[in-house]
Amino acid sequence: MKKGELYEKDDRILADAMHTLKNRLSPIIAYSEMIQYGHVEPEKIPEVARKIGLCASSVNQVCTELMDIYSLRGNLVNKTVEKVFPYEVLQKCFCMIESNLNPKKIKLINRLDKSVSVLFNVSMLSSIFMKLINNSIKFSPVDSNIEVSGEIVDENMYAISVKDEGVGIDEAKIEDKLNNNTDYSTLGLEKEVGTGLGLLLVKIIMDKHQGTLRAYNNKDKGSTFVFTLPLYKEN
């Protein structure tokens, strides 16, 4: 990639992130002013405070993901790779996001082979799982399943698939976002708000580790995201 093209993509990421931050901060300011000037009935203050908290959490998420993106691009984070078992990492991720799964009664199915190990950074693998699974939760209906499976592609690579039973994706827009860093954020089925940066962060992590990320719609329903990791080899 040429230097000018990289700067152009960086500018686009920042512009999209600033636009998202502005949209998330506006309700915080409006709700705060309503409370300040007594335009909210006392019994409704807890609900307004809850909405302020949700907006503030979203702002924090945008800032965190933006920092992660530029830390990765600037090689400012520890990228030490080691022998990692994806099955174990996924199980820990499931425990962390269980509170998000329960409201929709979504079942996470771990079909990864317990014996397969990869050469990767454990915190980055955890981040990939968290981003992709939360993305699937966002667009999945109540009482559905999210299934994570793996396949040894060849002697060097392990492909992991995150499959959901949701509304599917606009493959053209996803492809455009991953290749050109264009803004693409859509409300979830329960009006869940995303930052539009999660998939981009996953793509950058994969690029840093010579991996791949692709997405497609399933033949029946839902979508599948597939990423590849280098297999661990004993010396």
Q: How confident is the model at residue 92 (pLDDT cuts 50, 70, 90)?
A: very high
Q: Which fold has domain 82-230?
A: Heat Shock Protein 90 (3.30.565)
Binned at pLDDT 50, 70 and 90, residue 210 comes out as confident
Q: Which long-range contacts (CB under 8 A, 24 or more apart) does 170-177 make?
A: 171/215, 171/216, 171/217, 174/199, 174/215, 175/215
Residue 181 has pLDDT above 60, yes or no: no
> Class for domain 3-73, per CATH?
mainly alpha
Please report the pLDDT score of residue 188 as a whole number. 41
What pLDDT is attached to residue 173?
A: 73
101 touches 108 (CB < 8 A) = yes
Alpha helix positions (H), the chain: 3-36, 45-73, 86-96, 98-101, 122-138, 171-180, 198-208
Whether pLDDT at 192 is above 50? no
Q: What percent of the chain is predicted at pLDDT more than 90?
A: 32
pLDDT of residue 2 exceeding 60: no
More confident residue, 66 or 223: 223
Q: What tens digit of pLDDT does each residue of 117-133 get?
A: 999 988 889 889 988 99
Domain limits of the chain? 3-73, 82-230
Write the single-letter amino acid at 106. I
The identity of residue 183, as a single letter, is: D
Given a contact cutoff of 8 angstroms between Cβ atoms, the answer to whether 133 and 101 are in contact is no
pLDDT digits (tens, 9 = 90+) for 40-60: 999 999 999 988 887 887 777
pLDDT at 74 over 70: no
**φ/ψ of residue 153, rounded to 5:** -75, -50
pLDDT digits (tens, 9 = 90+) for 148-169: 999 999 999 999 999 999 988 8
